[in-house]
Amino acid sequence: MRGKWPQTWLGSLFIRRGSFFIGQPNGRDVHIRWRGAVWYNKPYRMKSGGSSLVNEYGRYRLVRLHSAMAVLAAGMFGLLLFAAGRLPVSPGFYHSIHLALGLAVVVVCWLVAVQGWAVFPHTLSLERLMMGALFFSSGLLFSLHVVLSFASDGAEAPLFSLAARLTLAWGLLFLFSRRDEVMERRSGQRWQAFFAAFAYAAVVGLFIHWTAPLWPGDGTSRWPLWWKAGEGMIGLLDAGAALLVWRRWRQGSSRSSLYWLLALWWFALGQWLLMFGGGHALWGQLYEMAGFLYIVRAMYVETVEKPYVELKQHEQQLEMMANALGEGLMMLNRDGRIVWMNPEAGRLLGLDPEEAKGKPLFSFVSLAGPDGDKWDWKQLRRVVKRLKSGEVIRVEEEPFRRHDGVCLPVGYTLAPVMENGALTGLVAVLRDMTEKKEKERLEREREQLDFELSLAANMQRALLQTSSKADLPSYVDIGVLSVPARVLSGDFYHFAVHQTSVSVGIADVSGKGIPAAMLMTLMKFILDRTVHYGTQPHVYLDLLNRFAYDYTEPSMFVTMFVGNYNEKTHTFSYACAGHEPALWYRAKTKQCVPLGAKGCALGLFPQFSFETKSVVLEPGDFVLLYTDGVTEKRTEEADDDFSVLAAMVARVNLDQPAPEIVRELYEHIQAYHQYEQKDDQTLLLLRRR
């Protein structure tokens, strides 16, 4: 590849040429370019909903820094193998540095042991407990090494140092080779583990004390072959533990695993330097000290930094959840002072959440009674007494008056916060009841309106009630069906019996709902009075048109079809005011003929010349009047209204009474159109017997 740098392996790290960039080129590994290099590191994979790119970049800088130090340590290790043995190191200088580093190692071991003792009750982690016990026993052995180094001969001191490092290496290899477990809480667990560690250190110490004279030397060097073999084996154990930690780091990418990996890396290099003695041993101890410093850093990350970061994250998550509740959430201490509140609580109380901290709540809020009641201490004491008993107080609604004078209905819940049976504070959940009260008011108004509409609908149905069958003359049969689109109808129908004739009519008021129903009622009333002026249909329309023009809104109009059947002449006279033509069914020929006449809708002009036409009805003939809601076309492909109606009439059993004919015809029309009713629908049928 053009411009490719030599790749070097270290902790799954690769370097290539490039410019600054952050991304995920393969969907698995994070891809970062910075200062002419591309960084891939599989452990730090970016997941959806995870940390930001900036945090990932910071992690890569951390890995880069410590990886560079590890590479530097390996390079120095190679140089020291050749140069350290030639550096002049005086015995006094070496002894002083050796004791100082030994004391530092003892301090680190005791710190890790104390940390394991203190953290275990909170985590119940078996690894933490065993880690603390391991460093406790190693710390004891390192302490004996330092103490015996001040002795006159100090022959046993190196053996204690070797035993301590060997114990630590074996222990770390064992701990990192197994998964951590959460133990069941039992009394005395820490004492048992640390007593076992103390017993182990005591047994090893006694063994070294009794067998120290038996350990062979080569007679010429302080560093015999078995010693070098022991140091080399410890280095191999540390390297094995480092491989196990590296696998952990690859899987979990935790910072503490990274520091443990680096610590064991420095340990292994240090142990291999200790094999050579002299100046190499001094540098080996320095390497070993660097490893212990990494352990301190790992313990700090694991026990201080990580819990703090997780706590902050949980705090932020809880705050986000509290802010998303849509209800006011607030914490008070036992004195009634505000500890914390979310923005919704601040909005309800008219307070700034930050400025309100530490201030008493009841100095900002009071009851909004008729006299502007204030919270009194007797009332507060009663509330506190109930909370001390562990009771949760719920109030559906209570008027609150804020310090700025705004009064609003609030429902609230007070829950006590108890610690060791004592009340330490309370949590208050506040709910703004303004919207709920407004909904309740609108619901009451809607129910009242529905009730009034139902009364109006009943009155309208009573107004349109047909005469009983006994009131009809024997020479005609009439059937009526009216279905409103809403509660109230804008359609109306009419029929009246005279001495020798029967008049019928049907009308459709423009629009729907209450305005159309009101106009319909007026027109029905006028029509009922108009039919007494004569039997010519156009006379009805002239009078109704004059009334509609004078007393209705300009935007409203009425279409109407009226007719009159004469018993003696068997003629059906009719007139039309912009309405759909009636359907004349001729029983002899079984044909449907439209009956239309010249005329415009009522109320558009002050005067209009309506015309009356007439046809002769044979026995079995009928005239069907209908409104446009019955036959209205919903699509361009549908047939014209009259042809559909005629086809539906052909399907009906015409031998049944007129009311049954109308009902069956309406069902056929509904099945044909198959759409939701949008307009009032009315049918009126008059048949000569």
| CATH H-level superfamily of 467-688 | PPM-type phosphatase domain (3.60.40.10)
H helix or E strand, kind and range, residue 622: strand 622-626
CATH of domain 328-432: 3.30.450.20
Range 229-236 contact pairs with CB under 8 angstroms and sequence separation of 24 or more: 230/162, 230/166, 231/162, 231/271, 231/272, 231/274, 231/275, 232/271, 232/272, 232/275, 233/166, 234/162, 234/165, 234/166, 234/169, 234/271, 235/267, 235/268, 235/269, 235/270, 235/271, 235/272, 235/275, 236/268
pLDDT tens digits, one per residue of 204-234: 989 988 887 777 654 444 557 777 788 888 8
Q: What is the pLDDT of residue 49?
A: 39
pLDDT at 405 > cutoff 80: no
| Helix %, strand %, coil % of the chain (to 5) | 50, 20, 30
Supply the Cα-derived Rg of the chain in whole angstroms.
50
- Summarize the confidence of residues 167-189 as an average pLDDT: 86
pLDDT band at 613 (very low <50, low <70, confident <90, very high): very high
- Mean of the per-residue pLDDT values for the chain? 77
CATH class of 87-311: mainly alpha
- Which sequence spans correspond to the domains of the chain? 87-311, 328-432, 467-688
pLDDT band at 518 (very low <50, low <70, confident <90, very high): confident
390: left (phi over 0), alpha (psi -120 to 50) or beta: left
Kindly state the DSSP code that residue 368 receives in the 8-state scheme.
Answer: -
Q: How many residues does the chain have?
A: 689
Choose between 438 and 155: higher pLDDT: 438
Q: What is the pLDDT of residue 150?
A: 74
- Of 270, 271, 244, 240, nearest to 257 (Cα)? 244
* Model confidence, pTM: 0.51
* pLDDT > 70 in the chain, percent: 76
Q: In what order do the strands lie in the sheet with 328-333?
A: 338-341, 328-333, 422-432, 407-419, 393-402, 365-367
pLDDT band at 617 (very low <50, low <70, confident <90, very high): very high
Cβ atoms of 245 and 264 closer than 8 Å: yes
Annotate 150-181 with b (16+ C-beta within 10 A) or e (fewer): eeeeeebbbbbbbbbbbbbbebbbebbeeeee
Q: What is the pLDDT of residue 637?
A: 53
- Summarize the confidence of residues 634-639 as an average pLDDT: 54
pLDDT at 27 > cutoff 60: no
pLDDT tens digits, one per residue of 34-77: 444 444 444 433 333 344 444 544 555 566 666 666 666 666 66
pLDDT at 477 > cutoff 50: yes
pLDDT tens digits, one per residue of 638-669: 555 788 888 899 999 999 999 999 999 998 88
Instruction: Look at residue 509 and give its three-state secondary structure.
Output: strand
pLDDT at 148 > cutoff 70: yes
Q: Which tokens sit at 36?
A: 């002419």
Which range, 56-70, 277-291, 374-388, 434-448, has the best average confidence (pLDDT)?
Answer: 434-448
Residues 6+ apart with CB under 8 A from 127: 175, 180, 181
The rounded Cα 368 to chain-centroid distance in angstroms is: 36
pLDDT at 24 > cutoff 70: no
- Summarize the confidence of residues 12-23 as an average pLDDT: 38
